[in-house]
Structure 1
Amino acid sequence: MPRHNELLLRSALAAAILATAGTASAQEAFKCPKTGGNLVVGLEAAVPTLDQHTGSSSATRNVAMNIFETLVIRDAEMNPAPDLAQSIEQSGDGLTYTFKLREGVKFHNGKALTSADVIASFDRYKQMGVNRATLDIVESWAAPNDATFVITLKKAQPTFLEALSSYTVPIVILPSEVAAAPAGQIEPIGTGPFKFVEFIPDSHVTIARYEEYVPNTALAGLSGFAGNKQACVDTVTFRMLTEVGARMAALETGEVSIAENVPTISHERLRATPGIELVSLKYHSLNVGYPNWSAPPTDNPKVREAILAAMNMEEIMEAATDGAYELNSTFQFPGTAYHSEAGKEFYNQNNIEKAKALLAEAGYNDEPVVLLTNQQFPSMYNSALVVSEQLKAAGINAELRVLDWPTALATSENEVQGWNFFFTYWATVTAQGGAASLRNIANHVYKPVDNAADAAFDKAFAGVQSGSTVEERRDAFAQAQTIALQKVMAIPFGSMSNVQGIRSDVENFDPFYNTRLANVWLDR
């Protein structure tokens, strides 16, 4: 797993580091040993959209982050790193960030990148981006010239570059004329090493090498989503193979070269299969769920507390992963900078009698509790099955509502009726540090009544973003996490690993939180 223990310690130096990041690495720059061929990737979920501003699904990122780029992104250690920016300078008072754009960058339609495109993209994200609250701290942005973009903050925020470089729902840069499109209706035109070719819903997405791509030479090779990226294959076809058996069969027969999320039950057989290698990321994602505060009966805090009290996390995680898990009471992976066990007393209570007492106190009267899930992600579906039985044992009338993944996700994000508890997992938001994981909660994934914020949580979250010292920010994270668990804003079930299968002719593919296909070639 990429380590990022020092993220907080480095954040104060981030601006200085990035300001000099345009210097080429002393290492020899990456060049594709071979080029050509079509690389086929078997996706575990359908791609709901390629509009990266408005799509929070990992399936969207798996495709879109090979097409689009941002001003600043995260490297393998989860530190901010330049992407379309050549350099970043921070003013002495911490209020102004000046981004110089890389020279010679062109969009896939042949248009040269300028700061006008950056402004249009930021304007669009401020209006409709999923994580647009990231920009609430911004007073203004401007473009003094075609190669310069300037952000001015309302007040200094030590973690601003960390927030800006988040790629959970990144602020990808679009041509200004594309940025005027409504949500979900953009032409997928970016500046990345691959350009869009075709999107057939529920079937496949095809991308192709962009011959005029200008790589970022600040690094010799790829680090996270940063660095020198090259498209070594001619095309990539992402096939949406949501049924796990079909996806594993396609890997075994060679119909796909890379298969996402190999289940534990298939590991032994595939390891013994000639021509197949399994690669893994130990801490890939956090299995998590959250209640809907706006729909009865989960609008009652005692009902939410009863749901949490009834849960046996070992049973949930065993079903979700076939044993490939670690219990985790936190919103961070173990060993990382913000990891804290604050609020652990609310986790894995496995207390049916307490749950029954809380339901009685709530005046619960057998109203349905609708568990919203999908079958494309087995971890989510199996978690829902186990939780359903645990809630029934406590006297809760649990019902499953099973939709396809894009519809389930959209329902959880846009609807406040028709569901009471949503099952998902967090990968990038957990990996990128405390502020990123808490921002998921601060942006009201739990659907409070009238979208009203929780004052105590928001105060602690503000401390995570703006605390003047590392210690202050860590303490604020612990406070916010305790509040989230106590009030049942979100429930971490445990940490999951992720294993992917690759054919032996795939070279230089490394597992990450999302699929990266730059600098990968086929040895055929």
Structure 2
Amino acid sequence: MKRAALAILTAFIVIQAAACYATGPRDIVIGLAGDAYSLDPYPLNETITNALNYHIFDRLVEPDKNLQPLPGLAESWEISDDSRTWIFHLRKDVKFHNGNDFTADDVIFSFDRSKRSGKSAFTYCLSTVESYEKLDDHTLKVVCKEPNALLLAHLKDLAIMDKETCRGKEDDWIALHPNGTGRYILEEHLRGDRLVLVRNENYWGEKPAPEKVTFKPITNEGTRTANMLSGAADLVVDIPVRDVKILERNKRISVLSEPSLRVIYLNLAGWTDKPSVDAKMPLKSPDGSNPFKDIKVREAIYRAIDEDEIVDKVMNGFAEPAATYIPEGFNGYNGDIRRLSYDPKMAEKLLDEAGYPRQKDGYRFEVTLDASNDRYINDGAIAGAIAGYLEKVGIKVNLNLMSRTVFFSYISSSNKTGDNTHLCMTGWADSGGESALMALDLLYSIKQDGPVKEGYGGVNRGYYLNPEADRLIDLAMSTFDPEERAKIMRDVWAIAANDVSYVPLHFQKDIYACNDRITYHPRKDKYVYAWDVEFRD
């Protein structure tokens, strides 16, 4: 505690001497845990990057605070009787920031760009789409491969870019010259220091209250707290759990906690003979086999981890143990699934039965746990705790911690170097409210040489393969009745749980702090938008 207090005090003194970026009565400063990966909205699908880009770029449809789709650049739409063809009517008289007109050509250009394999993290959005075409400047036709009940939930992720500005330009140039139709216009981006946006006074919709927004990437936890205490920021996201009580004692600061949609979990490469073939620290077992292929080993790892202790000691109570990927309230949530109990003796027994007894050095086999150390709340400490639990049951763990700027490309199934990870700790959240969409990303079968179905299984990093689960997911995607779709998906999640296809850890609780200048309304999806800020005076 003394070291933490000293760090906060030191950062406080530094920040007090620094210039404050909010210079007007309707200007705000928001502290985030990181910077945008790129101001090209397509290379990385990640919460901070997406939220910042959605200030600049609009989408055809946008989710409200209850995750339901609302009209965006598409003011209305129609669906054919066979539920395959969608007609979107686009808004007229909408301008990009540079004055160019918004038309269906820009939507087509953006759709094409989202489909670029290896360059787009949003290929899943149109994976169910057979074709799309412009009917006129403000009408778009989209035809799905089969009846698709959830197309809107995918289209909400696609930022619309200006074809006239971007056509013929290199990706690096596009990232430095973002031109959208959104509520804010880029004024300055000094990577790692600040992203400054000014209000788009010609915005087609309701204008947000803040006229200028400065986003400050603050990767150090103590410095985030110090920014809040000093007044250098009006709003800070990802307050360290250990500092909540310090901030609550300040009468000018409000601390807000919101149950998160984000699940933290382990992916185990249990459906391949040669996991992490290109990793610097590959999986090692006495006989050269992949232990994760045995369900007893996957169950043993699950039972070896004391998640209640992680929530209590590492998360200071700001988390809920998870039994599934799916947050309660999502369509298809299966409340009958229960966590496997913490039982290290049972874990050792299962490892013995699987044919991995302790060797002379005391270990059964050797793994590498890949994890970020600056993306999720206390992610490095959580990964360290998991390594400790696994070592107690005889699994040697090499802990490979990375910054978020490296981590996601390292563990990606499409990374340029090949297959790096066999055991990774990561997180996932989806703002669609539909567990079928999460299953498309997290469960749908994928192999080391590519997807079973293009655009599906993009974050199935354990190479989980189950044709029956795939069949049910396909069925759910074509089922318009919500109750029937929920029933199908409950079966899918039961199958995945019985296969121990992943090891769920916990759902985070998102912690924010704001000063008495403003009122902030957190979203369920943790996207931080300036238009959710109200001024109190």
1:480 to 1:181, Cα distance in 2 relative to 1, 3 A: farther
1:522 to 1:62, Cα distance in 2 relative to 1, 3 A: same
SS of the residue corresponding to residue 279 of structure 1 reads: strand
Q: Tell me, yes or no, if the aligned pair for 1:198 and 1:205 is still in contact at 8 Å.
A: yes
Deviation at 1:253, TM superposition (A): 0.4
Deviation at 1:521, TM superposition (A): 4.9
In the alignment, what sits opposite 1:123? 112
Deviations for 1:213-238, whole angstroms, at most 9, x for unmatched residues?
A: 111xxxxxxxxxxxx4x233332111
Deviation at 1:242, TM superposition (A): 1.1
In the alignment, what sits opposite 1:447? 461
In the alignment, what sits opposite 1:74? 63
SS of the residue corresponding to residue 48 of structure 2 reads: helix
In the alignment, what sits opposite 1:423? 425
Q: Tell me, yes or no, if the aligned pair for 1:446 and 1:489 is still in contact at 8 Å.
A: no
Note the 1:67-106 alignment, pairs <5 A.
67-106=56-95
In the alignment, what sits opposite 1:28? none
1:56 to 1:299, Cα distance in 2 relative to 1, 3 A: farther
Q: Which stretch of the first structure deviates more once superposed, 482-491 or 459-468? A: 482-491
The gaps in structure 2 that reach 5 residues or longer are 1-23, 277-282, 285-289, 445-456
Q: Tell me, yes or no, if the aligned pair for 2:95 and 2:102 is still in contact at 8 Å.
A: yes
Deviation at 1:257, TM superposition (A): 0.8
Deviation at 1:418, TM superposition (A): 4.2
In the alignment, what sits opposite 2:478? 466
SS of the residue corresponding to residue 116 of structure 2 reads: helix
SS of the residue corresponding to residue 348 of structure 1 reads: coil
Take 1:489 and 1:307, find their aligned partners in 2: how far apart are those partners? Answer: 12
In the alignment, what sits opposite 2:137? 146
Deviation at 1:93, TM superposition (A): 2.3
In the alignment, what sits opposite 1:15? none
1:46 to 1:354, Cα distance in 2 relative to 1, 3 A: farther
- The equivalent position to 2:292 in structure 1, one of 284, 300, 320, is 300
Take 2:261 and 2:494, find their aligned partners in 1: how far apart are those partners? Answer: 23
Note the 1:202-221 alignment, pairs <5 A.
202-215=192-205
- Which one-letter code corresponds to 2:196 in the other structure? T
- Which one-letter code corresponds to 1:314 in the other structure? D
1:273 aligns with 2:274: no
1:191 aligns with 2:178: no
SS of the residue corresponding to residue 115 of structure 2 reads: helix
In the alignment, what sits opposite 2:159? 172
Take 1:194 and 1:172, find their aligned partners in 2: how far apart are those partners? Answer: 14
Q: Rg larger in 1 or in 2?
A: 2
Note the 1:90-489 alignment, pairs <5 A.
90-128=79-117, 129-165=120-156, 170-177=157-164, 178=166, 186=175, 187-215=177-205, 228=206, 230-293=207-270, 294-295=275-276, 296=283, 300-302=292-294, 303-344=297-338, 347-364=339-356, 366-376=364-374, 377-413=376-412, 414-415=414-415, 417-429=419-431, 432-441=433-442, 442=444, 443-448=457-462, 453-489=465-501
1:491 to 1:90, Cα distance in 2 relative to 1, 3 A: same
Take 1:405 and 1:426, find their aligned partners in 2: how far apart are those partners? Answer: 14
Take 2:141 and 2:106, find their aligned partners in 1: how far apart are those partners? Answer: 13
Take 1:181 and 1:319, find their aligned partners in 2: how far apart are those partners? Answer: 50
SS of the residue corresponding to residue 127 of structure 1 reads: coil
- Which one-letter code corresponds to 1:145 in the other structure? D
Deviations for 1:27-49, whole angstroms, at most 9, x for unmatched residues?
A: xxxxxxxx854311111134322
SS of the residue corresponding to residue 428 of structure 1 reads: coil
SS of the residue corresponding to residue 440 of structure 1 reads: helix
Take 1:130 and 1:479, find their aligned partners in 2: how far apart are those partners? Answer: 28
Take 1:299 and 1:329, find their aligned partners in 2: how far apart are those partners? Answer: 23
Q: Tell me, yes or no, if the aligned pair for 2:196 and 2:215 is still in contact at 8 Å.
A: yes
SS of the residue corresponding to residue 141 of structure 1 reads: strand
In the alignment, what sits opposite 2:509? 497
Note the 1:38-49 alignment, pairs <5 A.
38-49=27-38
Aligned residues: 468
- In the superposition, the TM-score normalised over structure 2's length comes to 0.80
Take 2:169 and 2:433, find their aligned partners in 1: how far apart are those partners? Answer: 29
Deviation at 1:71, TM superposition (A): 0.6
Deviations for 1:80-133, whole angstroms, at most 9, x for unmatched residues?
A: 211111111112222211111112111122211000000010111122432423
- Which one-letter code corresponds to 2:533 in the other structure? V
Q: Tell me, yes or no, if the aligned pair for 2:259 and 2:510 is still in contact at 8 Å.
A: yes
- Identity rate of aligned residues, in percent? 24
SS of the residue corresponding to residue 370 of structure 2 reads: strand
Q: Tell me, yes or no, if the aligned pair for 2:334 and 2:494 is still in contact at 8 Å.
A: no
- Which one-letter code corresponds to 2:407 in the other structure? A
Take 1:258 and 1:427, find their aligned partners in 2: how far apart are those partners? Answer: 22
- Which one-letter code corresponds to 1:422 in the other structure? C
SS of the residue corresponding to residue 378 of structure 2 reads: helix
